[in-house]
Amino acid sequence: MNGYAGVSRYVPFVLRWLALGVVLLVIEVLIGVGAINEYVVPRPSAIFGALYRVVVEEHVMTYFLITLGEVLAAAAGLVLVGIPFGVFLARKRDYWSAWGNWVAGLAAAPVVLLYPLFLVVFGRSPLTIIMISFVTGVAPVILKTVEGISGTRKVLLDVGRSFNLTEWQSFWKIVIPSALPAMFLGLRLGLIYTMITVVAVEYLITLGGLGSLVGELAERYDLAATYAAVCFVVAVSVVFFLVVERLEHWLRLSA
Partner 1 sequence: MTKPGADRMAGPSRVLVIRVVTIAVLLVLWELTARSGYLYQDVVPTLSAIAGGIFEIVSNPDFYGHLQVTLLEIALALAIGGFLGVVVGIVIGANPFVGQIFEPLIYYLGPTPKIIFFPLLIMWFGIGEASKVAMGTISTFFPVALSVAAGIRHIDPVLIRVGRSYRANALQMATKIYFPAMREPFINGIRLAFGVSVIGVLLAETKFARDGLGFMVTRLYQQFDMPAMYGLVIIIFAFAIAVNWLLGRFVHAGKP
Partner 2 sequence: MLQTSGEFAMTNGEQDAVLSVRNVVKEFATAEGPLRAVDDVSFSVGKGEFVTVIGPSGCGKSTLFAMIGGLLHASSGEIRIGKEKITAPHRSISMVFQEESTFPWRTVIDNVAFPLEIAGVNKNERYDRAHVFIRMVGLGGFEKRYPGELSGGMRQRVSIARALASQPDLLLMDEPFAALDEQTRLLLGDKVLQIQQELNQTIVLITHNITEAVQLSDRIMVMSYRPGTLKREIKIDLPRPRSSEIVSSDEFGHYVATIWGDLREEASRGMQDAEERGAGGK
| Residue 84's binding partner out of partner 1, partner 2, none, with CB under 5 to 8 Å set by partner kind | none
> Between residues 94 and 167, which has the closer beta carbon with respect to partner 2?
167
Does residue number 57 form part of the binding site for partner 2 (CB under 8 A)? Answer: no
Out of 7, 116, 177, 220, the only residue in the binding site for partner 2 (CB under 8 A) is 177
| Residue 40's binding partner out of partner 1, partner 2, none, with CB under 5 to 8 Å set by partner kind | partner 1
Q: What angle do CA 119, 141, 197 make, to 5 degrees?
A: 30
Does residue number 250 form part of the binding site for partner 2 (CB under 8 A)? Answer: no
Out of 150, 178, 206, 237, the only residue in the binding site for partner 2 (CB under 8 A) is 178
How would you class 213 by CB atoms within 10 Å of its CB: exposed for 0-12, middle for 13-18, buried for 19 or more? Answer: buried
- Picking from 78, 108, 81, 88, the residue whose alpha carbon sits closest to that of residue 186 is 78
Specify whether the CB–CB gap between 213 and 60 falls below 8 A: yes
- Picking from 41, 14, 47, the residue whose alpha carbon sits closest to that of residue 231 is 47
For partner 1, the binding residues (CB under 8 A) are 1-4, 7, 12, 15-16, 19, 40-41, 93-95, 97-99, 105, 108-110, 112-117, 119-121, 154, 158, 161, 192, 195-197, 199-200, 203-204, 211, 214-215, 217-218, 223, 226-227, 230, 233-234, 237-238, 241-242
Q: Spell out the residues 6+ positions from residue 113 whose beta carbon is closer than 8 angstroms to its own.
A: none
Out of 162, 167, 168, 221, the only residue in the binding site for partner 2 (CB under 8 A) is 162
> Between residues 170 and 212, which has the closer beta carbon with respect to partner 2?
170
Out of 119, 141, 142, 174, the only residue in the binding site for partner 2 (CB under 8 A) is 174
**Rounded to whole angstroms, how far apart are CA atoms 78 and 136?**
10
| Residue 169's binding partner out of partner 2, partner 1, none, with CB under 5 to 8 Å set by partner kind | partner 2
Residue 199 dihedral angles phi and psi, to the nearest 5°: -65, -40
**Rounded to whole angstroms, how far apart are CA atoms 104 and 158?**
31
- Picking from 121, 139, 120, 136, the residue whose alpha carbon sits closest to that of residue 70 is 136
Does residue number 180 form part of the binding site for partner 2 (CB under 8 A)? Answer: yes
Contact string 141-160 vs partner 2 (x = CB under 8 A): ------------x-xx-xx-
- Picking from 143, 241, 136, 248, the residue whose alpha carbon sits closest to that of residue 185 is 248
Q: Which range, of 43-51, 164-172, 184-192, 239-247, touches partner 2 by CB under 8 A?
A: 164-172
Rounded to the nearest whole angstrom, what is the least distance from the CB of residue 241 to partner 1 in the complex?
A: 6
- Picking from 74, 252, 94, 229, the residue whose alpha carbon sits closest to that of residue 177 is 252
List interacting residues with partner 2 (CB under 8 A). 153, 155-156, 158-159, 161-165, 169, 174, 177-178, 180, 255
